[in-house]
């Protein structure tokens, strides 16, 4: 598991979570509150720092809780990054769900 072309995974996870957050019109504050309620206390500023690149790494707990709060599948999100679907390359067209991998833009 040292394929440099897939690194850094954290940066790509954060980007996908940001895209999903904005696609669902969820503010960083609302996401932080939802994650806190789900048992993962986090400040809005931490999410802002991650999305702006001031913080470079995201924990697996953060990924799972944030994905759940946004209504997306953390496993699919991670797979799109580490093993992109050969059909859609992990990024189906906006508004579409890939029939091969189930991923959605
Ligand atoms: Zn696909």
pLDDT by residue, tens only, the chain of 105 residues = 445 455 689 999 999 999 999 999 999 999 999 999 999 999 999 999 999 999 989 999 999 999 999 999 999 899 888 888 888 877 788 888 888 877 776
* Residue in this structure with the two tokens 């504050």, named with its chain if needed: 29
Gap from CA of 37 to ligand 1 centroid (Å): 32
Gap from CA of 11 to ligand 1 centroid (Å): 20
Q: 13, 58 in Cβ contact below 8 A? A: yes
The pTM for the full model equals 0.78
> How do the domains of the chain map onto residue ranges?
4-82
Handedness of CA 25, 28, 29, 33 (dihedral sign): positive
3-state secondary structure of 98: coil
Gap from CA of 24 to ligand 1 centroid (Å): 20
Gap from CA of 42 to ligand 1 centroid (Å): 31
pLDDT at position 1 is: 47
CA of residue 8 relative to chain centroid, distance: 13
Q: Alpha-carbon distance 36 to 6, whole Å? A: 30
Gap from CA of 44 to ligand 1 centroid (Å): 31
Instruction: Just give the CATH number of 4-82.
Output: 1.10.260.40
pLDDT at position 85 is: 81
């Amino acid at each position: 598991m040292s394929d440099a072309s897939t690194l850094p995974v954290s940066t790509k996870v954060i980007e996908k979570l940001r895209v999903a957050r904005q696609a669902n019109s969820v503010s960083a504050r609302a996401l932080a509150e939802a994650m806190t309620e789900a048992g993962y206390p986090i400040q809005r500023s931490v999410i802002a720092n991650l999305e702006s690149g001031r913080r470079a790494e995201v924990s697996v707990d953060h990924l799972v809780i944030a994905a759940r709060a946004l209504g997306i599948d953390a496993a699919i999100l991670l797979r799109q990054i580490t093993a992109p679907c050969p059909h859609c390359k992990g990024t189906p067209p906006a508004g579409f769900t890939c029939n091969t991998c189930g991923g959605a833009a």
